[in-house]
Amino acid sequence: MKWVTRAHVHVDRVACPWLIARFIDSQAEFLFVAPAIVKKVAEESGAIPFDVEGVELGHKDGHCSFVTIIEKYGLKDPVLHKMADIINAQILAILIRIFMHQELRQLPLGFHLCFLTITKISEINF
């Protein structure tokens, strides 16, 4: 069976192919394509899309695709569930770092606005 997901492998897209090949489809063939064409490639090739927004085997209810795949295929191994916890935590850590980076990029603007406000207040008071 063919499986398709986004190119530029990250945590979930490393873990999911391993999970699929090891526990679901030992003959799996993986296609890594541009995010914009995953669904098109899936339709044209009959591949199962995963770890893509809006597909059955994507992130659901705050959980990563690894968890979604475990649930879909009824995998009960407690070690896989521990791995899922670790993968979810790693993805959350990445999202937090991205958010913090975006927020940190805004700090100079905030300092600038704060300085202008303090300057204006000082001018008014003196």
Q: How does 47-72 read in b/e, with b if 16+ C-beta sit within 10 Å?
A: bbbbbbeebebbbeeebbbbbbbbee
Position 10 confidence tier, pLDDT thresholds 50, 70, 90: confident
Residue type for position 121 = I
In this model, does residue 115 exceed pLDDT 60? no
The pLDDT assigned to 96 comes to: 65
In this model, does residue 117 exceed pLDDT 50? no
In this model, does residue 92 exceed pLDDT 50? yes
Give the Cα separation of 48 and 33 in Å (integer).
13
Mean pLDDT lowest among 5-9, 12-16, 99-103, 109-113: 109-113
What global pTM score does this model have?
0.72
Fill in the DSSP letter of residue 58.
S
3-class state of residue 10 by DSSP: coil
